[in-house]
Amino acid sequence: MTQATSNNKFDSGLGLDVVFPSPRQIMRQRMIHHKGFIVGGVMVLLIFLMAIFAPAIAPHDPFHQDLSIRMIPPVWNENGTWNYPLGTDNLGRDYLSRLVYGCRISLLIGFSCMMIAAVIGAILGLTAGYFGGTVDMVVSFIITVRLALPAVLVAIAVVALIGGSMKIVILVLGCLIWDRFAVILRATTKQIRAIDYVQAAQAAGCSVLRVIVLEIMPNLFNSIVIVATLEIGRAILLEAALSFLGMGVQPPTPSWGLMISEGKDLMLFNPYLVTIPGVALFILVLGMNLFGDGLRDVTSPEGRS
Partner 1 sequence: MALGLEKITSGEIYIGGQVISSLGSKDIAKRIQPVFQDPYSSLNPRKSISKIISLPLRALGVAGTKKELNELIDETMETVGLPPRLKYNYPNQLSGGQRQRVAVARAIIMRPDVVLCDEPTSALDVSVQAQILNMLMELRRELNLTYVLISHDLAVVEHIATKVAVMYLGRIVEEAETEKIFKKPCHPYTQALMESVLTPDPKLGLPETHLGIAYPNPIDPPSGCTFHPRCRYAKGICHSDVPELTRDGDCLIACHYPLS
Q: Name the residues that contact partner 1, by CB under 8 A.
A: 1-3, 5-6, 8, 10-11, 16-17, 20, 22-23, 195-197, 199-207, 210, 215, 218-219, 221
Q: How far is the CB of 117 from partner 1 (least distance, A)?
A: 24
Start-end of H helices in the chain: 23-32, 35-52, 54-57, 95-131, 133-148, 151-162, 166-174, 179-193, 196-203, 208-210, 217-244, 256-263, 272-299
User: For residue 112, how many other CB atoms are within 10 A of its CB?
Assistant: 19
Minimum CB separation from partner 1 for residue 204, in Å?
4
Minimum CB separation of residue 6 from partner 1 in Å reads 8
Residue 11 or residue 265: which is nearer to partner 1 going by CB? 11
- Of the two residues 10 and 269, which places its CB atom closer to partner 1 in the complex? 10
Q: Which is nearer to partner 1, 147 or 204 (CB)?
A: 204
Neighbours of 124 (CB within 10 A): 24
Cβ 2 to partner 1 shortest distance, Å: 7
| Closer CB to partner 1, 9 or 167, in the complex | 9
Q: Is 224 within 8 Å of 178 (Cβ atoms)? A: no
Nearer to partner 1, 119 or 200 (CB): 200
Q: At what angle do helices 179-193 and 95-131 cross, to 10 degrees?
A: 40
- The alpha helices in 54-94, defined as continuous H runs, are 54-57
CB of 209 to partner 1, least distance (A): 12
Question: Which residue's CB is nearer to partner 1, number 197 or number 282?
Answer: 197
Burial of 231 (0-12, 13-18, 19+ CB in 10 A): buried
* C-beta separation of 52 from 61 below 8 A: no
Task: Name beta bridge partners: 94.
Answer: 88
**CB closer to partner 1, 82 vs 218:** 218
CA dist list (Å): 131 to 123, 139, 208, 216, 273: 12, 11, 10, 13, 52
* Least distance in angstroms from the C-beta of 8 to partner 1: 6
Beta carbon of residue 270, minimum distance to partner 1 (angstroms, whole number): 54
